[in-house]
Structure 1
Amino acid sequence: MVTVSPSDTWTYALRLPHDPRAARVARMTVRTVLDTHGRHEVLDAVELLTSELVTNTYLHATGPASLRLTALADGRLRVGVRDSHPRIPAPFGGPPRDSVPRAPTDAEGGRGLRLVQEYADCWGGWSLGDNLLDRGAGKLLWFEVGRGRGSS
């Protein structure tokens, strides 16, 4: 008799409306999924960074966004957020990836992408085109957590 153990890989996808409550829905989803899979060690960072990316989709894009959480076989967790705006902001674009300036201390915003730079193990982005009538238009930003920056 062969015993089959369940895979440690999984994927969840969620479509989010262009709505100011989308970041809250994303945080609740992330918390539920990571609690269910026992990934408590990355929960706070993933919840924070997901919220920042989804908030940016509401502020800088039109139309719905998509959220995808993927557990990879080596223990990493990848989070991707897709929206309809084609511009890829730093630190997700090409080098230098550390070009996110510090926000002034009295600023009400401007810290979200800096948080990604500080708390994610790696990150990136792809432009999907700039034709808003094209279903492939927009961008996909992603980050990974779960392995230390010094891990090989």
Structure 2
Amino acid sequence: MTSELVTNTYRHTNGPASLRLTALADGRIRVGVWDRHPHIPAPFGEPPWDRVPLAPVDDEEGRGLHLVQEFADSWGGLALGDSPLDRGAGKLLWFEVGGQRAGWTAIA
């Protein structure tokens, strides 16, 4: 899922971008990808564009954000104005995975 967000940033934006991994409580990981492009794609945007349609079977692309939608525990997107971190405007897309889930067993 991380690769999908980073690849989309590379393919669809120009300029700087960043990736941040954050360890959260209960073993969760948050992955955040920032870039300067203001458009927030589904499933990160607001309804009715909050679901990603399935790509046709014979298409060679168009499945990445659907994978995030299906496998991440939660996700979101933020439109950013001028940032105090001097990154400028753009967006931040993020998702979280991991943690304690009912029925899951850790494998050592």
Q: TM-score, normalised by structure 2?
A: 0.82
User: 1:66 and 1:110 mapped to 2: Cα distance?
Assistant: 22
Displacement of 1:108 in angstroms is: 1.1
Greater RCO between the two (CA within 8 Å, min separation 6)?
A: 2
Q: Which has the larger radius of gyration?
A: 1
Partner in structure 2 of residue 127 of structure 1: 79
Q: Give the RMSD, CA atoms, in angstroms.
A: 2.3
8 Å Cα contact 2:34/2:92 also seen in 1: yes
**1:60 equivalenced with 2:44 (yes/no):** no
Identity of aligned residues (%): 76
Partner in structure 1 of residue 106 of structure 2: none
AA aligned to 2:15 is G
User: Secondary structure of the equivalent of 1:123?
Assistant: strand
User: Secondary structure of the equivalent of 2:25?
Assistant: coil
Higher strand share: 2
Kindly tell me the number of residue pairs found equivalent between the two proteins.
Answer: 100
**Unmatched 5+ stretches in structure 1:** 1-48
8 Å Cα contact 1:121/1:149 also seen in 2: no
**Unmatched 5+ stretches in structure 2:** 104-108
> Runs in 1 of length 4+ with deviation above 4 angstroms?
148-151
Higher helix share: 1
8 Å Cα contact 1:121/1:147 also seen in 2: no
Q: Aligned pair in 2 of structure 1 residues 98, 125: CA closer, same or farther (>3 Å)? A: closer
8 Å Cα contact 2:27/2:100 also seen in 1: no
